[in-house]
Chains A and B, each alone.
Chain A
Amino acid sequence: MLDMRNVRKVYRAGLVETEALSGATLKVNRGEFLAIMGPSGSGKTTFLSVAGLLDSFEEGDYWLDGENVRHLSDQRLSKLRNQKLGFIFQSFNLIPDLDVFDNIDVPLRYRGMPAAERDTRIEETLAKLGLVARMRHLPGQLSGGQQQRVAIARALVGRPQLLLADEPTGNLDSASARQIMDLLARINSEEGMTIIMVTHDHEFAARAHRKLHILDGKLIDPNSSTSGPG
């Protein structure tokens, strides 16, 4: 599903260069649930940005579902993000002036899907996540847990192949966080969706099939003697 080899990402601010990813190598199989842990500033978010095609990289290669994304156009990258990837952010990132239904509708709009098909998909997803009663609410009218469920619904509605979750429980109380983790685990086991989750929480990371650490831009498999588990 995801095959990243020796990916290097550098941020430049004037003369200062910061290497956020230094030769990251990783292979994730279809249906796998992977947790990535690491201290602040270790490169977790950069890794997810590169994996999610939100950011470019200087060196290395990255195949997403068999397609090398290194030199793709913005149009093609946008299409891949829209069709193959789903994002869940720590701060939910819902559009505040769109209601739940319209928030979930956003990725489908960029697929050019007919209105009737969009409506059906959204209603199915809302039902699956128990949000039907909230579909005309604005994000500001929902609790944190409900907002994250809407964000998950938005990520799932396009039936992506890879779900990228950036500390999905970071802004939630423990009960809501547990519900969200249950939901992600269920999506992975029942629908076979590949999930890569960045988290600080060891308990939640333990629910993944595999756990990696990231330190100074390098991915480390704690169960292996060498870095670069790919």
Chain B
Amino acid sequence: MALQLFSYHARLAVKSLRRDPGLSVTIVIVMAVVAGMFFTALLHYLRFNAPSPLLSPGLHHVEVGLPDGKVFSVFTGTVAEPNAIVGRLRVSYPIYRRLAGSHIPTRETATFRSRLLIRRAGAGSPDVGAAELPFGSEEPSGRPRNARFVNADFFDLFDVKLRSGAPWTRDQEANGKAVVVLSKLLASELFPKGDGLGAFVLINESPFQVVGICANEQPTVPEWDRASAGGPQDLAYLPFLTHVRLSAFPEMPIHMSTLGPRYADLLASDDIFVSYWLDLPTPEARRAYEQYLAAALGPLGLPYELRDFVGLRRAFPTPWTPVSFFLFLTLVILVGGGLIMARLLLAKGLARSDELGIFRALGAPRRSLFVRQLLEAALLSGVAGVLSVLIAAPQAYFYNTVVADTDIPVRLTPLSFLITLFATLLVGVLFALYPAWRAASRPPTISLGRH
């Protein structure tokens, strides 16, 4: 019976939209405008803060201090400062080698980002086929692009999905196989007429075979290296050890001491930083790794902390950015829209007071009229939520066409639409509670004008 009444009230709510059309349209327009603003801000927020995929609960990270305090003298500050995060989320290359030497059979990945010259093999001079990037330094030999060195387990550990192909295997990596996974963006740029799978690209003039293409845009502040400087997304993923063959410098080498002339001197120094992750899916695995850390780092007197992913997010919360502030502001505006809606709903309830009185006289209990009023509010705010696309879509188009500040476009996604719809519905229903209660609890004699 409850379901029957619910659908009956839903039908009446639809009909009642035609009653007081002026008020209904005003409510929808007000809510659609504020929801559109929220939608717009959300699109920008999600562009830089893509929601994390469901990562392995065993994913762990080790924060390690460096000897002599020399790094920390550079990276002094609060955790909200990017440099402080760099200092704490990455470890020096020699320390990384210690962290990765446990021989515990588990999935693991190290990663750092470099800027490399990438072009399609046989495409002529280095900068042939290289599209204009919105920003980034230009060098005489071509255009450097963001490339990231990762281990074979990386794609699985961080749930980085591929559109086609598959990541390289551990064996291929150990054998120094020259393979690459391209981002969706770079694949479409280098191979506009096909997928590019199996083709060769030249990276710093060395041939690498394309074994996979990413399914999605890559995040500018990725979970696996939140200390990344942002800017353009990572365009290629390379087997970690190939950084030696390519003599790849990290994107932000911080020279703390005089280096020797060889690439190995750089790696032996404390001047190159790497993020290191490993999967410790069971308490036993975690205990074993803790013992290993105590043995490997303890004698060096290095402070360290092993954290799971949840603990890491707690220790390094996402800092406020102008975009997140903008999102917060539009949320406040959305709530303001809810207040206006509440006022209009009160007026609407008053205008239809006689009708509600008739329903009460015919046996409708207060509760059922309350639900009906809420349904009507949900309907109005739902329509507004859908119409908010009409504000967000042109804005996104305009932004991508005129501003285009990075290579990740502002995109309307089903997720952003659903979040906006949900937020608009939630605000609409919450702010309809009081008007609905007022309308439903009005004595039927007053509604019917009987005294």
Contact = CB atoms under 8 A, between A and B. Distances in A.
Interface of A: 11, 20, 45-46, 49, 52, 54-55, 74-75, 78-79, 81-83, 87, 89, 93-98, 106-107, 109-112, 154, 158
Nearest to A18: B451
Contacts of B360: 54, 78, 81
Contact of B19 (A79, A97, A107): A97
What is the predominant secondary structure among interface residues of chain B facing chain A? helix
Given A82-B363, A107-B362, 12 more contacts: A20-B451, A49-B451, A54-B448, A55-B445, A74-B367, A78-B360, A78-B364, A78-B365, A87-B361, A93-B448, A110-B363, A112-B1
A110 B451 contact: no
Contacts of B16: 97
Nearest to A109: B8
Q: A-B pairs with the 5 shortest C-beta distances? A: A82-B363, A112-B1, A78-B365, A110-B363, A107-B362
A11 B358 CA distance: 21
Nearest to A46: B451
B328 interface: no
A53 to B, nearest CB: 9
B4 interface: yes
B366 interface: yes
B443 interface: yes
B5 interface: yes
B15 interface: yes
Nearest to B5: A109
B232 interface: no
A20 B95 CA distance: 90
B239 to A, nearest CB: 67
Nearest to B19: A97
Contacts of B358: 93-95, 106
Interface of B: 1, 4-5, 8, 15-16, 18-19, 354-355, 357-368, 443-445, 448, 450-451
15 contacts: A45-B451, A54-B360, A54-B361, A54-B445, A55-B450, A74-B366, A79-B365, A87-B362, A93-B357, A94-B358, A95-B355, A97-B15, A98-B15, A106-B359, A112-B5
Contacts of A55: 443-445, 450-451
A33 to B, nearest CB: 21
B5 A110 contact: yes
Nearest to B1: A112
What is the predominant secondary structure among interface residues of chain A facing chain B? mixed
A41 to B, nearest CB: 10
Given A54-B360, A75-B365, A45 B450 contact: yes
A81 B361 contact: yes
A11 B362 CA distance: 24
B284 to A, nearest CB: 58
A112 B364 CA distance: 12
A74 B8 CA distance: 21
A138 to B, nearest CB: 11
A112 B361 contact: no
Contacts of A110: 5, 362-365, 368
Given A54-B445, A93-B354, A154 B451 contact: no
B363 A78 contact: yes
Nearest to A49: B445
Nearest to A93: B358
B389 to A, nearest CB: 29
Nearest to B369: A78
Contacts of A75: 365, 367
B18 A97 contact: yes
Nearest to B359: A106
B433 to A, nearest CB: 18
Contacts of B450: 45-46, 49, 54-55
B354 to A, nearest CB: 7
Contact of A81 (B18, B362, B366): B362
Contacts of A109: 4-5, 8
Q: Which among A81, A95, A96, A97 has the greatest number of chain B C-beta atoms within 10 A? A: A95
Nearest to B354: A93
Contacts of B368: 110
B363 A83 contact: yes
B257 to A, nearest CB: 81
A34 B445 CA distance: 22
B445 A82 contact: no
Nearest to B449: A91
Contacts of B19: 96-97
Contacts of B15: 97-98
A107 B16 CA distance: 18
B361 A52 contact: yes
B103 to A, nearest CB: 69
Contacts of A74: 365-367
Contact of A112 (B4, B359, B367): B4
A45 B448 CA distance: 11
A163 to B, nearest CB: 13
A89 B5 contact: no
A55 B357 CA distance: 12
Given A97-B16, A97-B19, A106 B365 contact: no
Nearest to B361: A87
A213 B42 CA distance: 69
Contacts of B365: 74-75, 78-79, 110
A118 to B, nearest CB: 10
A79 B1 CA distance: 14
B448 A107 contact: no
A20 B451 CA distance: 10
A87 B15 CA distance: 24
A79 B363 contact: yes
A1 B8 CA distance: 32
A151 B450 CA distance: 17
Contacts of B8: 109
A93 B354 CA distance: 8
B363 A89 contact: no
